[in-house]
Amino acid sequence: MNDRTLIERVLDPGALSVRFQAVYELGENGTKRHYLEGLIRGPLGTSVETPDILFAYARKKNREAELDRACIAAVLKAARGLPEDVRLGVNVHASTLAMDPEFLTFLSDAASETGTAVDRLVVEIVEHAPPWDVSAFREALDALRHIGAAIALDDVGLGHSNFMMILECRPNYMKIDRYFVHGASNDFYRQVVLSCVAQLARPFSARVVAEGVETEADLEAVRAAGIDLVQGHLFSHARPADEIEIPHKDQRS
């Protein structure tokens, strides 16, 4: 199978599968789902089935923007059976926002076709690259805010998800990478980083999501840092839409 055939298979409608994983809000009376993030899997049986390999392959072929569109279309289609009041996280590369002038139109049309209100969307900016066209990137973010979408900055603390990106994005959510969460219960310096990100978020009126929470001990470290949004296997695994339950008061699953 040549490369062109593989990328075309990836971009073919229905080739991608979707799993949803919840971001939970911690409260005095338990936990509840705050929003559901749509996670993509490549075509079964191919070398790009896992998301990391899938997106690296698309980047190598300079097809990231096309893949972003295909992923968002797949997530919105898969979410059609979910209750209308459930917020949805969709991932998009920063380069797509900066270099695809028709992305906002595409997103609005895709939302309309699936009956998804755009103000349900949390646009998670992933796989950040150096600033290609900062002005266009800012304009895209402003346009997303104008239609009511929230902005999340993914993997805060790693790679290009740094102070510059925080300033440029002014996100509603800062998702701190699992690297800083895993083992935080017995690592003073990880605890310091968690607390620093929580403090940094406040002047931006942003909320912090701790990714990769897998143990009760790390959960307590996250709580102690003042973070009340969490995502990870301690609470739920990624599941197809038809396996998602949305009760009023949620329990860990």
Q: What is the 3-state secondary structure (H, E, C) of 93-105?
A: EHHHHHHCCCHHH
Question: pLDDT tier at 89 (50, 70, 90 boundaries)?
Answer: very high
Question: Is the pLDDT score of 107 beyond 70?
Answer: yes
152 pLDDT higher than 50: yes
Q: What integer pLDDT is reported at residue 252 of this predicted model?
A: 47
Q: How many other C-beta atoms lie within 10 A of the C-beta of residue 231?
A: 23
Q: What is the mean pLDDT of the chain?
A: 91
| CA pair distance 39, 56, nearest whole angstrom | 15
pLDDT tens-place string over residues 16-30: 999 999 999 999 888
Give the domain CATH number at 197. 3.20.20.450
Q: What is the mean pLDDT of residues 89-114?
A: 95
Does 71 reside within a domain? yes
Is position 246 within any domain? no
> Is 70 exceeded by the pLDDT of residue 249?
no
Residue 252, classified by CB atoms within 10 Å of its CB into exposed (0-12), middle (13-18) or buried (19+), is: exposed
Domain of residue 225: give its range.
3-240
Q: What values do phi and psi take at 87, rounded to 5? A: -75, 150
Examine residue 38 and state whether it is found in any structural domain, yes or no.
yes
Q: How confident is the model at residue 198 (pLDDT cuts 50, 70, 90)?
A: very high
Q: Is 253 a domain residue?
A: no
| 192-220 mean pLDDT | 97
pLDDT at 2: 53
Q: What is the mean pLDDT of the segment spanning 102-114?
A: 96
What is the mean predicted confidence (pLDDT) over 6-11?
A: 90
pLDDT band, residue 135 (cuts 50/70/90): very high
The answer to whether position 166 is within a domain reads yes
Q: Check whether 248 has a pLDDT greater than 70.
A: no
> By percentage, how much of the chain surpasses pLDDT 70?
92
Tell the residue number behind the tokens 């897998």, with chain if given: 214
| pLDDT for position 251 | 46
Q: Is residue 215 part of a domain?
A: yes
Given a cut of 70, is residue 147 above it in pLDDT?
A: yes
What's the domain count of the chain? 1
- If pLDDT is split at 50, 70 and 90, which confidence band does 253 have? very low
Would the pLDDT of 84 be above 60? Answer: yes
pLDDT at position 45 is 87
Q: What pLDDT, on a 0 to 100 scale, did the predictor assign at position 1?
A: 45
Distance CA 79, CA 71 (A): 12
d(CA 211, CA 226): 14
Residue 197 parent element (H or E): helix 188-201
Establish if 103 belongs to a structural domain.
yes
| 3 has a pLDDT exceeding 60 | no
Choice among 128-132, 188-192, 193-197 with the minimum mean pLDDT: 128-132
Strands 150-156, 17-27: pairing is unpaired
Per-residue model confidence (pLDDT) at position 247 = 58
Give the side-chain half-sphere CA count within 13 A for 196: 11
Rounded to whole angstroms, the Cα distance separating 161 from 94 reads 10
